[in-house]
Every structure is written in structure tokens, then in C-alpha cells.
């Protein structure tokens, strides 16, 4: 059985000096670590490599643990370290949480690279097409792999803990060490007192019951853990979020800042459905719009045409602002010029509307059509229609429509031919009287 290094012992001892930490909690922390050989080795390595420099109590209730890459601090909720009324300690929860959070430290270099890639891709989006779906999706996928890897590390730590006293544990032994954590790995079925335990079908164990972070196992834990519904994950400031929106809120804020930095008329596009994001959950997690806290307009490309929306600055309030009506949106545009397209900023209607022709962007055409509808300007509506019909996008649309119509006509002709053939086959044979010729 390995032992904690001197440096690791110093970090654990320093935990007792943190506000609100009791000697009992420190002792339970040390005992839980020393119950798992894998966890001891993991902590010693993390300390040696500089990934772990301090342990702190967590400051809010909606997280089972945290790892702060900036300060190299692991944060734990004191409730899991406290001796319970029955004089026991939830060692399984402590061991799993430590194994999970420490892995985030080992993953830090990969995570840093993922955020650097996001910054590069989001900057390119701000300078060109303004669609941040791919950049945000890639970042959330990296967060998903990070969390899946951390879950596998937690499993291995708890398996090691159990094998200290039981060298040949069953899946039931592992599950019962901490059911709320381990149900993502093991299925329990049947009725009390006879339960049946089976490994989740998308996971593959090693002969020693540990899990390796193979691509298949990482994807499995992404599904089993990261992809859980908000009510199961219970993340964020309000404890109502899933992981995608928990990580996505930061990405949305950064996209908004970049969009404003590079564009006089900022408006971002993102496919919320594709990314499993929700405006409500994003805002409840807290969107940071930076030095300019005014709402930023966005288009949700989940639908056609894309739906308009506003992302609010909620990093301090964590309150979702309900969608506003079209009229309220126009009032907001008048109050906040940044929300208005360029042609609305200085001139009265209709002079403020841009000249729309076949070379205009789809966004400009959409905005002009929107204004035409509001102001009942039939001439502008027809102008936009002609411009779209002459544009490359319009020509492609009409060409696709023409091909579709041809296919429909061909299918209808084939169906009619089949119908006629069936009618012939089904027509009864008519028999007339037999004529006899007499000589």
C-alpha cells in the first residue's frame, strides 16, 4: 500500500486552516484518501507535477466538487467530509469526488488547448460568417471528454478503495459504495431484497474491474454522465442546469464579446438545438457580456427562418429574462441603437432602409423584409423578393425547387402508369354468347 508524500501531507494539513473546516473533517479526508491506493498515487503525482497546490471548501451548494486550474486548488463540500449522525463517513463519495476532480488537473493542458482553439475559431466567426455553432460545439465536446475522463478516474479510485478490504468485489459491492455516483456505471434492477447488478452495456471493464479511458468508454461516460437531463445534473448557480448549458454560458459570453469587438452591428448566430443549449438555462448559469452589458441580438438557426432572440447579461443575477414581443423589441432598439441595423440609426423611414439588390446579404434581405412587414411597405417587400430571386442563393433555391417539381411529376407519372396497369389486370373478362355457324 503506497503512502502519501510529505508534500501531499502538508497540503492536507493546510486544509484545516481554511474557514469552517473542523479537525474531524480533515481526519475524514485523510482517512478516505488512505483507503484507496490508486487515489494515494494520483494525489502524490498531482502534487509532484504541480497540478494540486491546495484543498479548499467549496463556496456554493450546487456542485459535488470543483477544480480551479488557475490556482491549482481542489474544492470539496464540507458536508461530505463530516461524520454523520450514525458515526459513519460517506467514504465512497469522498473517494469518488477526489478521483474525479484530480483528473481535471491532469487534463488541464488538453483543456487549455481546447479553449485556445475555441478562441481562434470564434474570432474567425466574428470576422466572417458570425455563426458560432461549430466553435461552441467543439469546445463543449472537449468539456464532455474532460468530464467523462474524470468520471472514469472516480470509478478507478473507488474500485481501489473497495479492493483494499475486499480483493474480489462484485458489481453489487462497487455499486453500494456510493449508488448515486455509480448508477452511471452499473444498472440495478429487480426488487428488494433481491437486486440484480449489470455493467452499463456501453462500458468495457478491464479484468481487474478498472476502466481505461478508451474512446469507447469516454463516449459511454459522455452519454451516461455529461448528457444527463438538467434535473439530474442539477448544476449552476440555481442547481437547474445540465453540463452543456453549464459550459455553454461562458462560450456564449465570449462569442458576444468577440462579435462586438469586430463588428459595428453585432448579431451572433448559433444553433441552440444542435448544441443542446437553452436561452433560459444559459442565462440562469450566467452570461458575461463584458464591459457592455446591454443585450446582444442573436439568431437561433435551429429553425428556418432563424428565430430572433436576445442574450442578456446575467453573470451577476442568474435570472432568465423572458422573451420580448416584436413591439417591445422595436422599443428596445430605439432605446439602444446598437440593437438596430445600420439603416435604422440616423434616418427616418424609409430612407434608413438600405438598397437591396441581388448582392445584398441574406441578413440584410431578412431585416429589410422584416421592416417592410412592420411598416406595410409593399414596394420594399417586392424589391426584396426580386433581389432574392436574382441572387445566387435565390437561384439555387429555385433550381432545387425546379428539380423537386420534376421529381414529383415523374413520381406522379409513374404512379399513374402503375394505376392504369393495375386497372387493366383487375378488369373482369366479359364473355359473349357462343355463335354456332350452321351450314
Res. 335 pLDDT band, cuts 50 70 90? low
For the sheet with 54-57, list strands across it: 54-57, 73-76, 66-68
How many CB atoms are closer than 10 A to CB 68? 15
User: What is the pLDDT, as a whole number, of residue 422?
Assistant: 59
User: Quick one: 207 exposed, middle or buried, by C-beta within 10 A (0-12, 13-18, 19+)?
Assistant: exposed
Write the DSSP assignment of 333-389 as a string of letters. HHH-GGGS-GGGSSS-TTTTSPPP-TTS-HHHHHHHHHHHHHHT-HHHHHHHHHHHH
Classify residue 22: in a domain, yes or no: yes
Give a yes or no: residue 174 inside a domain. yes
User: What is the rounded average pLDDT for all residues in the chain?
Assistant: 86
pLDDT above 90 (res 341): no
Mean pLDDT, residues 408-434 taken together: 56
DSSP H helical segments within 183-286, as ranges? Answer: 215-221, 230-233, 243-262, 272-275, 279-285
Domain coverage including residue 348 = 341-408
Q: Per the domain annotation, does 237 fall within a domain?
A: no
In a domain, 313, yes or no: no
Whether the Cβ atoms of residue 140 and residue 255 lie closer than 8 Å to each other: no
Given phi > 0 = left and psi -120 to 50 = alpha, else beta, which region is 87? left
**Phi, psi dihedral angles at 19 (to 5 degrees):** -55, 130
The residue from 227, 253, 285 where one domain ends is 227
94 lies in a domain? yes
Q: Between 324 and 128, whose confidence is greater? A: 128
Q: How many domains does the chain have?
A: 2
User: Which pTM does this prediction carry?
Assistant: 0.74
Q: Which of 38, 90, 42, 37 is nearest to 64 (CA)?
A: 90
pLDDT at 350: 44
- Higher-pLDDT residue of 146, 326: 146
3-state class of 78 per DSSP? helix
Tens-place pLDDT, residues 346-400: 443 444 455 677 787 776 777 777 666 766 667 777 777 788 788 877 777 767 7
Confidence at residue 334, expressed as pLDDT on a 0 to 100 scale: 55
Which cell goes with 127?
470576422
57 and 198 in a single domain? The answer is yes
Q: Is residue 202 one of the residues assigned to a domain? A: yes
Tell me how far apart the alpha carbons of residues 59 and 77 are, in angstroms, rounded to a whole number: 8
Residue 366 falls inside a structural domain = yes
pLDDT digits (tens, 9 = 90+) for 49-59: 999 999 999 87
Of 174, 203, 227, which one is at a domain's C-terminal end? Answer: 227
Percent of the chain with pLDDT over 90: 67
Residue 104 pLDDT > 80: yes
Lowest model confidence (mean pLDDT) among 70-84, 262-276, 323-337:
323-337
CA angle centred on 373, ends 372 and 374, rounded to 5°: 95
235 within some domain: no
Amino acid at each position: 500500500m503506497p503512502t502519501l508524500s510529505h508534500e501531499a501531507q502538508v497540503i492536507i494539513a493546510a486544509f484545516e486552516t481554511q474557514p469552517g473546516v473542523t479537525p474531524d473533517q480533515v481526519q475524514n479526508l485523510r482517512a478516505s484518501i488512505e483507503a484507496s491506493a490508486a487515489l494515494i498515487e494520483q494525489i502524490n503525482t498531482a502534487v509532484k507535477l504541480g497540478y494540486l497546490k491546495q484543498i479548499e471548501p467549496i463556496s456554493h451548494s450546487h456542485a459535488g466538487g470543483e477544480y480551479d486550474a488557475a490556482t491549482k486548488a481542489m474544492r470539496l463540500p464540507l458536508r461530505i467530509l463530516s461524520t454523520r449522525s450514525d458515526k459513519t463517513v460517506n467514504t465512497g463519495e469522498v473517494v469518488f469526488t477526489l478521483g474525479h476532480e484530480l483528473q481535471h488537473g491532469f487534463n488541464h493542458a488538453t483543456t487549455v488547448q481546447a479553449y485556445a482553439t475555441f478562441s481562434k475559431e470564434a474570432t474567425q466567426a466574428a470576422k466572417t460568417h458570425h455563426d458560432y455553432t461549430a466553435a461552441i460545439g467543439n469546445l463543449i465536446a472537449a468539456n464532455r471528454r474532460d468530464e467523462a475522463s474524470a468520471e472514469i478516474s472516480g470509478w478507478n479510485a473507488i474500485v481501489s478503495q473497495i479492493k483494499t478490504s475486499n480483493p474480489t468485489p462484485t458489481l453489487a459491492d462497487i455499486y453500494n459504495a456510493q449508488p448515486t455516483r455509480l448508477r452511471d456505471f452499473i444498472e440495478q434492477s429487480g426488487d428488494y431484497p433481491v437486486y440484480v447488478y449489470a455493467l452499463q452495456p456501453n462500458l468495457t471493464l478491464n479484468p481487474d474491474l478498472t476502466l481505461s479511458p478508451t474512446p469507447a468508454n469516454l463516449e459511454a461516460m459522455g452519454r451516461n454522465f455529461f448528457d444527463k437531463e438538467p434535473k439530474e445534473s442539477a448544476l449552476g448557480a440555481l442547481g437547474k442546469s445540465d453540463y452543456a448549458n453549464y459550459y455553454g454560458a461562458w462560450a456564449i459570453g465570449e462569442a458576444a464579446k468577440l462579435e462586438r469587438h469586430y463588428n459595428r452591428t453585432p448579431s451572433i448566430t448559433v444553433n441552440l438545438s444542435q448544441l443542446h443549449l437553452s436561452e433560459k438555462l444559459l442565462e440562469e448559469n450566467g452570461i458575461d457580456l463584458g464591459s457592455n452589458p446591454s443585450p446582444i441580438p442573436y439568431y437561433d438557426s435551429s429553425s428556418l427562418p432563424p428565430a430572433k432572440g436576445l442574450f442578456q447579461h446575467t453573470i451577476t443575477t442568474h435570472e432568465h429574462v423572458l422573451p420580448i414581443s416584436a413591439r417591445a423589441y422595436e422599443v428596445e432598439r430605439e432605446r439602444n441603437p446598437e440593437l438596430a441595423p445600420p439603416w435604422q440609426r440616423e434616418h427616418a423611414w424609409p430612407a434608413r432602409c438600405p438598397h437591396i439588390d441581388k448582392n445584398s446579404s441574406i441578413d440584410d434581405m431578412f431585416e429589410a423584409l422584416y421592416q417592410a412587414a412592420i411598416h406595410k411597405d409593399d414596394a420594399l417587400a417586392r424589391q426584396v423578393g426580386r433581389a432574392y430571386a436574382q441572387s445566387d442563393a435565390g437561384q439555387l433555391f429555385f433550381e432545387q425547387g425546379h428539380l423537386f417539381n420534376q421529381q414529383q411529376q415523374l413520381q406522379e407519372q409513374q404512379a399513374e402508369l402503375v394505376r392504369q396497369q393495375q386497372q387493366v389486370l383487375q378488369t373482369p373478362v366479359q364473355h359473349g354468347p357462343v355463335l354456332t355457324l350452321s351450314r
